[in-house]
């Protein structure tokens, strides 16, 4: 593990602490008039999402975790496992839905994603900001029901359920924000 000084912390940097794997969300160098300088940090647990605050002495050594980001293509589902192919060396990787988290709800065959790997463990998934998915099931819009902003539930091809406007029908393609899980727009058929 490479050691990094608390003075060299940057947002997004990953640290391997005794409590687990953390990403630096925020940091602030503080030099009080009296006493030694210190670094106040806000750290996010990569696995659980919990945020903690820690204070370190200036120039304190911490273990930096090297996260390998690999662009991979989702090939197919094999049972409950997702099979990915590395876009650089064409090596295949099988992983469970649990290791992908909510990101699995936005992946369909042929899609690309950047998998964040720490040793052989997936610790994060970077998806495009929005994905296009087909509506597999939704109630038909009722003629004359034109309440402004009215929404209905729609089931998409990956199994995720989102709120869509009344004019969206089964078979339509919709664009969904992968960060919030919200409907953005209907895509032309």
Q: Is the predicted pLDDT of residue 37 greater than 70, yes or no?
A: yes
Q: Same structural domain for residues 121 and 76?
A: yes
pLDDT in tens, 120-150: 888 888 888 889 999 999 888 666 556 667 7
Q: Same structural domain for residues 46 and 10?
A: yes
Cα separations in angstroms, 145 against 140, 150, 167, 184: 11, 9, 10, 21
pLDDT in tens, 14-30: 999 888 889 899 999 98
Task: Please state, in angstroms and rounded to a whole number, the distance separating the CA atoms of residues 125 and 117.
Answer: 9
Domain of 76 in residue numbering reads as 68-126
Q: Same structural domain for residues 12 and 56?
A: yes
The CATH number of the domain holding residue 99 is: 2.40.50.140
Mean pLDDT of the residues in the chain? 87
Burial (0-12, 13-18, 19+ Cβ within 10 Å), 169? middle
Phi and psi at residue 113, to the nearest 5°: -150, 155
Q: Please give the tally of structural domains in the chain.
A: 3
Q: Terminal CA-to-CA distance of the chain, rounded, Å?
A: 51
Q: What's the whole-model pTM score? A: 0.73
130 closest CA partner among 85, 179, 171: 179
- Quote the distance between the C-alpha of residue 2 and its chain's center: 26
Task: Please state, in angstroms and rounded to a whole number, the distance separating the CA atoms of residues 135 and 130.
Answer: 15
pLDDT in tens, 63-98: 998 888 899 999 998 888 899 999 889 899 888 888
The CATH number of the domain holding residue 56 is: 2.30.30.30
Neighbours of 18 (CB within 10 A): 5
pLDDT bin (cut points 50, 70, 90) of residue 34 is: confident
Q: Tell me the three state secondary structure of residue 155.
A: strand
Q: Could you tell me which residues are beta bridge partners of residue 175?
A: 132, 185
Q: What is the pLDDT of residue 174?
A: 92
Q: What is the pLDDT of residue 139?
A: 85
pLDDT in tens, 148-166: 677 888 999 988 999 988 8
Task: Please state, in angstroms and rounded to a whole number, the distance separating the CA atoms of residues 138 and 32.
Answer: 60
């Amino acid at each position: 593990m490479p050691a990094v000084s608390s003075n060299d912390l940057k947002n997004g940097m990953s640290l391997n602490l005794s409590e687990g794997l953390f990403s630096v969300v925020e940091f602030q160098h503080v030099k009080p008039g009296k006493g030694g300088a210190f670094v106040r940090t806000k750290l996010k647990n990569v696995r659980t999402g919990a945020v903690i605050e820690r204070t370190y002495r200036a120039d304190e050594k911490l273990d930096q975790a090297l996260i390998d980001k690999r662009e991979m293509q989702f090939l197919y589902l094999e049972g409950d496992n997702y099979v990915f192919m590395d876009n650089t060396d064409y090596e295949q990787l099988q992983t469970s839905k649990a290791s992908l988290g909510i990101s699995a709800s936005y992946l369909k065959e042929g899609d690309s994603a950047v998998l964040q790997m720490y040793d052989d463990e997936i610790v994060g998934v970077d998806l495009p900001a929005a994905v296009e998915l087909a509506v597999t099931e939704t109630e038909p819009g009722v003629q004359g029901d034109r309440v402004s902003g009215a929404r209905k539930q729609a089931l998409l091809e990956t199994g995720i359920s989102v709120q869509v406007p009344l004019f969206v029908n089964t078979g339509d393609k919709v664009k969904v924000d992968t960060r919030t899980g919200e409907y953005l727009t209907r895509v032309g058929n």
